[in-house]
């Protein structure tokens, strides 16, 4: 097992999967996901590629279960915590139900806060790092994005505060991608009525992963606090 340990939520696909590949060179990977089959497939693929990896199946909508789910891992060390899991869909504010608000905020904010709280003691011991994959929607709210942008604005506030509280003990990085070529982006474009999806004009998951790798590799006296990554071609 590699000396350093990285826990990546949403590590079975998209941005999280790319981040796992990038960190797998010198970290033991704990791949988090809600679907046990996809978690197992990701672990097997990464292991076959030469990485050290294990799985963590957890439903981040059930925030009250996160502490016991983490305890089941029996972690002795944690160097990097990557919050890559997220929920995203478009919904007019006038039609959004309380249950939809709850689910969006549970996955995008409450689970992040709870998982961070539970793992902070280990991250402090290793002088580790929390990396939050936020969104451009953490700065700008558009039509039908009240729930999503609201959760991402709140996530930015959480990481900003955490960064100051843990300064000198744990590095906290917030990355805000624009549109990224992922399955989630395909779904969002369909919801917005687009019929001409072209992933080549969007940011690649690999680009986000390379940015995460850069943040992890900085010397201990330096940190990437906040970074926005957007496609060169802007499609509205």
Asked if residue 167 belongs to a domain, the reply is: yes
Alpha-helical segments (H) within 63-173: 66-73, 98-105, 111-125, 146-165
> Can you give the pLDDT at residue 230?
82
Asked if residue 81 belongs to a domain, the reply is: yes
> Can you give the pLDDT at residue 203?
85
> Can you give the pLDDT at residue 1?
44
Asked if residue 55 belongs to a domain, the reply is: yes
> Can you give the pLDDT at residue 204?
87
> Can you give the pLDDT at residue 218?
96
Q: What is the total count of domains within the chain?
A: 1
Residues of the chain with pLDDT under 70: 1-2, 180-201, 234-236
Catalytic residue among 148, 153, 158, 202: 148
Asked if residue 231 belongs to a domain, the reply is: no
Let me know if 148 is a catalytic residue: yes
Asked if residue 176 belongs to a domain, the reply is: yes
> Can you give the pLDDT at residue 199?
56
Q: Which residues contact 27 (CB under 8 A, 6 or more apart)?
A: 2, 4, 5, 6, 52, 79, 80
Task: Find out whether 45 and 210 touch, Cβ atoms under 8 Å.
Answer: no
Q: pTM of the prediction?
A: 0.90
Residue 127: left if φ>0, alpha if ψ -120 to 50, beta else—which one? left
* Structural domain harbouring 201: 4-224
Looking up residue 62, the CATH number of its domain turns out to be 3.40.50.720
């Amino acid at each position: 097992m590699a000396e350093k340990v990285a826990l990546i939520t949403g590590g079975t696909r998209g941005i999280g999967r790319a981040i796992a590949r990038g960190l797998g060179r010198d970290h033991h990977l704990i791949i988090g996901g809600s679907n046990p089959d996809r978690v197992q497939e990701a672990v097997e693929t990464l292991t076959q590629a030469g990485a050290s990896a294990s799985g963590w199946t957890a439903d981040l909508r059930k925030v009250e279960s996160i502490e016991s789910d983490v305890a089941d891992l029996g972690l002795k060390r944690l160097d990097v915590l990557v919050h890559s899991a997220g929920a995203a869909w478009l919904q007019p504010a006038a039609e959004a139900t309380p249950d939809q608000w709850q689910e969006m905020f549970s996955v995008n904010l409450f689970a992040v806060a709870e998982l961070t709280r539970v793992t902070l003691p280990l991250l402090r011991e290793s002088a580790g790092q929390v990396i939050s994959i936020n969104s451009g929607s953490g700065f700008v709210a558009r039509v039908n994005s009240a729930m999503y942008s609201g959760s991402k604005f709140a996530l930015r506030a959480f990481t900003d505060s955490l960064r100051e509280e843990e300064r000198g003990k744990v590095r906290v990085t917030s990355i805000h991608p624009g549109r990224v070529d992922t399955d989630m982006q395909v779904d969002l474009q369909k919801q917005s009525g687009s019929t001409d999806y072209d992933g080549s004009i969007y940011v690649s998951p690999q680009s986000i992963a390379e940015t995460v790798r850069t943040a992890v590799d900085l010397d201990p006296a330096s940190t990437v606090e906040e970074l926005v990554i957007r496609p060169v071609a802007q499609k509205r």
